[in-house]
Structure formats: C-alpha cells, structure tokens
Structure 1
Amino acid sequence: MKKNSLAATPTPFAAVQRRQLLRGMAAAAGLASICAAPLRHAAAQARPADAGVMRMTQLLDMSPDQQQLSRDYATGIRLAFAELKKSNMAVPLLSTVETDGSAAAARSALQAIRDDPAQVAILGTAGEGLALASLTESAQLKLDIAHVAPWLADPQMDHNPRLFALFASREEQIRYVLKTLSVVGVTELGLVYPSQQHADTLQAGMAVIASRLQLKTRSLVIPKGQDIAGYAAKLPASAPFFLMFMGGAIELALFTQGLGQKKMQRYVLCLSDVDSNTFMQLNPGKSVPVIFTDVVPNPHTSKLAVVRNYRSALQRLFDEAPTPVSLAGYLAGRYAAAVLAGAGPGATRARVLAEFQRRRPLELDGWHLAFNPQGRASSFVSQTMLNTRGNFVG
C-alpha cells in the first residue's frame, strides 16, 4: 500500500487541489467512530469487542490529477456512513488506503485485503484507472470479493460478476451527448488523452464504444513532457470539431487555455470525471464552449429527498459545498449499507458477495437503482454547457 508522497513541486492548480483535499480529509478524520485505521494497521488494532465486525476498504488514487475526485467521492461515502451511524444502524468499519494509482499499489492493497478475513468488500474505489487495475489484480490474485460502486465509467469490466457499478457508463454518457448534438450532426469525435497512460487505460474501452455507436473517432495523445496548453494552442485546423477530453479538471482547464489562445472554434466535451465548479476555479480558457455530463441529479437544486438529506448532512458535518462526485459517493455509501443490512451482522466475505449478486432494485429516498442487463444500476445522465460567454446553460 503506497501513499503518494506528492514530493514533487506541484503546479499551482495541484497545490490548490491538495489544500482542499487536506481540509476535507481532516474533516473526515472527525468521523473516527466509523473509520478504521489504514488497512495495514487494521489487524493489529482490532480489539476483542470488534470480533465479528465486518470491514470494508476504499482505495483512493491520490496522484495530482485524481486527488480532488478521490477526495470528493470519499467524503460522500463517509457522509452516508455518518448519517447511518447517527440513526444507530450497524455499519461496517471502513478503512481508506491512499495509493499513487498504479497497478503495483493496487496489488499491494489487495494482497492485504485478501489476507484479512474480516474484509468483506471493496467500496468506492476512485479514480477510474485504479478501479480498473483493482479488478484486474483481484482476478490475478483470485480474490473473491465484491467491488462495490467504484468510480468507473469505462464499461469494459461490466460483465464481471464481482463488480457492482452504480452510475451511467461512458457509453451511456456519450449517447446522451450525441443525442443532444444530433441537430448539428457529429460525424467525427476527437478523443484527447492528456497522457499516454490515460490512452493505454481507456483506448480499448473507447474503441468498443465507438464501434457500437458507429462513430468515427480520432485519438490525440499529448506527448510526455509537453505542456497541455501549448499542445492545444498548436492543434491543426484538421482537428475534429468536437473534442472529448479524457482527463480531469486540471488538465482540462489547461487544454481550454490553449484553445482560447488559438481562438480555434471547437466544442470540448467532458464526462462525469470533471466537476464544472472545480473547473471554473482553475482559470479555464475564455470563449471555449464546454459540455459537461453528470451521472447524478444536480446536487445544488434537486428536490429529491435523498439529495436534500445529502446537502443538509454535508453542511452540518463537513461545511463544504455540494458536488456531483460527493453526492455520488453519498449514494454509493447508502446503497452499500442497504445491501449489507440484508447480509446480516458478522456475514462472511462470501455471504456479502452473494448478497450483492442478488442485484435487487433499491429505492433510496426517491433515488431508484435497478441493474440493467449491461450491469449498471443507473443510466441517469444530465448535461450542462458552458457557453462562449461563460454562462452555464441546461
């Protein structure tokens, strides 16, 4: 289990993100009654009174481009557990393992989980590369455990019987965007990967999606060591009119800065990995239209009871602004707790996996989850556009 040291000098954006992260994690530490120590210490610190208590682990990618997403998702899950704890509902102990997002870090964490029989599920792995790596490494380690609600839009693992993906896939998000853009006719989509690592992780899944959608795509991979804004400022005139950015908020802000300098008219699409509020704090390029998708209701305005509960608890316990990702984490925590209640106290790892594999429909204060044949519990997608005047529409 490696912790990312973040020893390298951060970019200004990464420094802001890290300060926000540390504030959020400090708040989360106040919920010590529901959070175990890091996994490598869990066995040593277990007390006799803990015998039979179920434990779960959340794996987080704390690399600079993923730490804000990981932090928000973890905040939402802890928020859900805190609310349940207040209602005297028995909830599992939750450990958090911070990693650098690599397959090696995932393997190390999973080996420790495998060797601790009290660990009954992996909950809310974030970000996406780490989620994919954890599923791959689990198969190689023959770790028969439930992977519950990872932050995972890529559908390539949806067939995995140990994966319980809650939110709309990347394909469903792209279908939604293309439907809304059908009046202008999208003939080609440029896929912008901020690094070769992003491309290696996501290209296979995107190729399958493009084939199913009968969509022509062109991959644009930003070379290692090249400035993202500089790359965007030198895009050739032949670049597709619609560009789907496959990275996080920091890289996207830099990319739009470059497009703004070039004054090239292009639409930039980004999926649920990017929170529009966070993006706007990072000095994005002016006059670049950006389309955002979200896989949960609007965390600020939705009148669903579960979203109202989330907003109230978030303000009370963390004093933070709502975000789509932390709302998704809250829904993930509520879902996991509801299924685990059906497994019964002190359930084994195998019993917990069997309970999740029932894939029963659930209703969480107005939010409905029902697994579809593709293996996703929700296909909800919404869209917001930041227009050329800097206003949000939709």
Structure 2
Amino acid sequence: MLQFPLLSRRDLLRGSLLAASAGGALGQTGRKNGSAAAAVTVVQILDTSMAQQDVAKDFLLGSRAAWHDIQTQGGLRGRPVRHETMEVDGSAAAVRQALEAALADPSCIALSGTVGDPVASQVAQLLAARPPGLAHIAPWLQNSTVALGHSTFPIFAGRAEQVAHALKSLTLVGVQDVGVVYATTREQELHHDDIARIASGMKLRLVAYRGADDLTGLGQRLGPGSPAVLLFVGGTPELVQFTQGLDRQHRQRFVIALADVNLQTVQQIGGARSTPVIATQPVPMVTSAVAIVRHYREVMARLFDEPPVALSLAGFLAARATFAVLQGIDGPLTRASVLAACQRQQPVDLGGLRVSFDARQRAAGYVTQTMLTTRGRVVG
C-alpha cells in the first residue's frame, strides 16, 4: 500500500492548487506515453471566497482523503481516477468558466462534491439549462428549492429538511416560541419564507432578527422577552460573533445552527462560552460506529493532522458516493453511462449508510444533531 505523509490543511490546499493547475499537463502526458491513457477525471468545484472558504476547506479535506484512499486500493478496478479541483471566487463568471473547463476536458466524466451551497446551486442551474451530459453528483447543495434539472443528484439533506428536523425536536419538548437570527439580509431574503412556513406548520411562533453588520451587538441587545431558543442561519464566523454577544447576557439561551457551521472552529476561536450550540448535520455523527464513518476516521488519522468533523465527513461521503456510482457501471465509463447510472437512482450502500432518493431526485432527509456545550465539549 502506498504511504502518504502527514499533511496539514495548508499543505493539502496547496496541493490541490498544484493538482488543478497541472491537471491538463498530466492528461497530455498520459496520452503521450500511454501509462495513464485509461485514467478518467472527476472534477470538484470549490468556492474559496471569504464567505465559503471554511466550508470548502473542510469538505475538500474529506474528499481528497477519500480519493487518496481509493487510489491506494487500486482505483476503479485497476483504472486510475484523477480527482481534479477547480477553485472559484463564487462569482457567476468564475463558476461558468470552471464548468466550461470541466465540460471541455474529454477525460472528465462527472462533477463531484461541488461546495459550498451558492456555487452548487449555480452549477445545478447552469447544467439544468443545457442538454443532458455531465452528471453533478453529491454537491453540498443546502438550498432545498433550487431546480435540479436532469443532471444534479444531491445526497445530503437540504436546509429545509434540517430546519424541519430541528424545529420538530423543539416541539417534542414543549417549545412554542422560537427566534430565528439571520446573519445577513441576503440570508433572510433567501430563507425566511421557507422557515416561516415550516414553523407555521408545526404551530410554532417565530420571531425574526437580522444581524446586518453587528451580530455581537444583536446578541447583547436581545431582551429578556426574546425566545430562549434561537435558530441561527449563517456561517461559523458570524455564529461566533453572535454567541460572543449572547455570552454577555445573564439569561441562558440555546442556539441551533445549520450544517455550514463547524462547532470545533466555534470552540477554537472563542464562541459559545456560555451558550450551548446545537448543530444540525446531514451526515452521521463523526463518532458513529457505522462502518463508513469508522473508515473515514481511520483514513483521516492516517493521512492528515486534522480532527474528524462533520463537513470533512460530508466531503468523504461525496467522494465515496461518486465512486460507488462509477464502480457500478458495466461497460464503458463515459459521461453518458455515468449520467444514466445516476438517473436510475438506485439505492447505494456506503458501508452501512444507505443513500436512497425520493421523487424529487433528492436523497432521503438524513439529519443528526451535535452539541457544543458550555464546557467546550462537542457531544452527540
């Protein structure tokens, strides 16, 4: 078995940039000398803008770990699978350019694990407007309302499913009033109607707050009459600011965050010191005994100096789900055969984690919850 050195996240990301820039040259070399002529390429588009880079880094870490592990086990029945990354700044022009580059590469047979959510949504919409061709497998698509078209196949529960899971758990313990904190005006515009509809269906009274440019101040200003349970819609840095404001209040509150939040990072940079935070996540808990999660922990420990977290587990699962589709194809590996395999929507068993699809072409809404306690422990 090939051995890989221990790599930091910085090393990993530097390597991904080199791999992306060298991708074309590698393909040309393979075609010239014949040694890599049978290789196929899977492209991962990453949003490394300020708003999404924390999500993208962790997700990439897990994906790259999975593809490394797959290669050490012989690739695709002895055939190399080249994992190429394309980093974008989140702009529409950059996303379109990355997609066109992937489409122009004849060795590229699928997109896998597009991250984060805004870019995944853009890619899904761009592909939906084109004739069927390139499968878009396991993107980090949190937007539950985006039209999937004929080419996009999410395996993770979307934001609406996460919100419904979180609010349902509150109704079970008798909570009737819930605050929802939007980190930005944009978050409120995108998600308030959905969240209000879900809350109304569960007979929950909803009070909305917008952080704008002062989330710490908002946390400090919440009066004693505001709800004790707050649903937070935003990223990790914004959540840290908000909980730092709450920490200066005497009233105990509970904050529920969604899947883009990394609880370990919240802990490391000084958030939630006196406010418990519960994060929903569309993957098993990283401490789970499920075989695929045990394998993820083993691979991460062997390759990288990073702790297991939900977002890197999601990246790992995205790569493994893509590989499962490729492995299940009899006959030539082409864009058409990969897309046809995805469109059949057959359930896939990823080492004890079953992925199946509903009538909307989305995977069933698997959601778990993990808590960051006021003692700095991540449990669940």
Following superposition, the deviation at residue 336 of structure 1 comes to 0.7
1:188-218 deviation per Cα after TM superposition (whole angstroms, max 9, x unaligned): 4433222233344444654665566565544
Matched residue, 1:150? 139
Matched residue, 1:231? 218
**Does the CA-based 8 Å contact 2:111-2:136 persist in structure 1?**
yes
Which AA in structure 2 matches 1:73? F
**Please, which runs of 5 or more residues in structure 1 have no aligned partner?**
1-18
CA distance in 2, matches of 1:22, 1:200: 34
1:115-140 deviation per Cα after TM superposition (whole angstroms, max 9, x unaligned): 33332211101111111121123334
**Does the CA-based 8 Å contact 2:178-2:229 persist in structure 1?**
yes
CA distance in 1, matches of 2:94, 2:189: 18
Matched residue, 1:268? 255
Matched residue, 1:24? 12
**Does the CA-based 8 Å contact 1:244-1:269 persist in structure 2?**
yes
CA distance in 2, matches of 1:210, 1:42: 52
Matched residue, 1:86? 72
Following superposition, the deviation at residue 166 of structure 1 comes to 1.1
The aligned length equals 369
CA distance in 1, matches of 2:177, 2:143: 20
Against the structure 1 CA distance between its residues 26 and 133, is the aligned structure 2 distance closer, same or farther, given a 3 Å change threshold?
same
Following superposition, the deviation at residue 281 of structure 1 comes to 0.6
Following superposition, the deviation at residue 114 of structure 1 comes to 2.6
The yes-or-no answer on 1:245 pairing with 2:238 is: no
**Does the CA-based 8 Å contact 1:158-1:375 persist in structure 2?**
no
Partner residue of 2:308 out of 317, 322, 329: 322
Matched residue, 1:132? 121
Against the structure 1 CA distance between its residues 302 and 158, is the aligned structure 2 distance closer, same or farther, given a 3 Å change threshold?
farther
Matched residue, 1:370? 356
Following superposition, the deviation at residue 74 of structure 1 comes to 1.2
The yes-or-no answer on 1:379 pairing with 2:368 is: no
The yes-or-no answer on 1:67 pairing with 2:70 is: no
**Does the CA-based 8 Å contact 1:266-1:289 persist in structure 2?**
yes
**Does the CA-based 8 Å contact 1:291-1:384 persist in structure 2?**
yes
**Please, which runs of 5 or more residues in structure 2 have no aligned partner?**
1-6
1:7-38 deviation per Cα after TM superposition (whole angstroms, max 9, x unaligned): xxxxxxxxxxxx97424324668xx8xx5646
Matched residue, 1:291? 278
Following superposition, the deviation at residue 111 of structure 1 comes to 1.9
CA distance in 2, matches of 1:182, 1:211: 12
Partner residue of 1:259 out of 202, 223, 246: 246
Following superposition, the deviation at residue 327 of structure 1 comes to 1.4
Following superposition, the deviation at residue 56 of structure 1 comes to 1.9
**What is the RMSD of the two structures over their aligned residues, measured on CA atoms?**
3.0
Bigger mean CA offset, 318-327 vs 373-382: 373-382
1:50-69 deviation per Cα after TM superposition (whole angstroms, max 9, x unaligned): 44532221111112332222
The yes-or-no answer on 1:47 pairing with 2:35 is: no
Q: Counterpart of 1:383 in 2: which secondary structure? A: strand
Against the structure 1 CA distance between its residues 221 and 111, is the aligned structure 2 distance closer, same or farther, given a 3 Å change threshold?
farther
Matched residue, 2:167? 178
Matched residue, 1:334? 320
Q: Counterpart of 2:100 in 1: which secondary structure? A: helix
1:281-330 deviation per Cα after TM superposition (whole angstroms, max 9, x unaligned): 1101432121112222222x322222222111111112321111111211
Matched residue, 2:109? 120
Matched residue, 1:110? 99
Which AA in structure 2 matches 1:379? G
Identity value in percent: 37
Following superposition, the deviation at residue 160 of structure 1 comes to 3.3
Against the structure 1 CA distance between its residues 141 and 192, is the aligned structure 2 distance closer, same or farther, given a 3 Å change threshold?
farther
Following superposition, the deviation at residue 366 of structure 1 comes to 1.8
Matched residue, 2:3? none
Bigger mean CA offset, 110-119 vs 312-321: 110-119
TM-score by length of 1: 0.82
1:212-257 deviation per Cα after TM superposition (whole angstroms, max 9, x unaligned): 656554443332xx23212322335564443221112111111100
Which AA in structure 2 matches 1:148? I
Q: Counterpart of 1:157 in 2: which secondary structure? A: coil
TM-score by length of 2: 0.85
Partner residue of 2:340 out of 354, 362, 365: 354
CA distance in 2, matches of 1:286, 1:218: 24
**Does the CA-based 8 Å contact 1:254-1:285 persist in structure 2?**
no
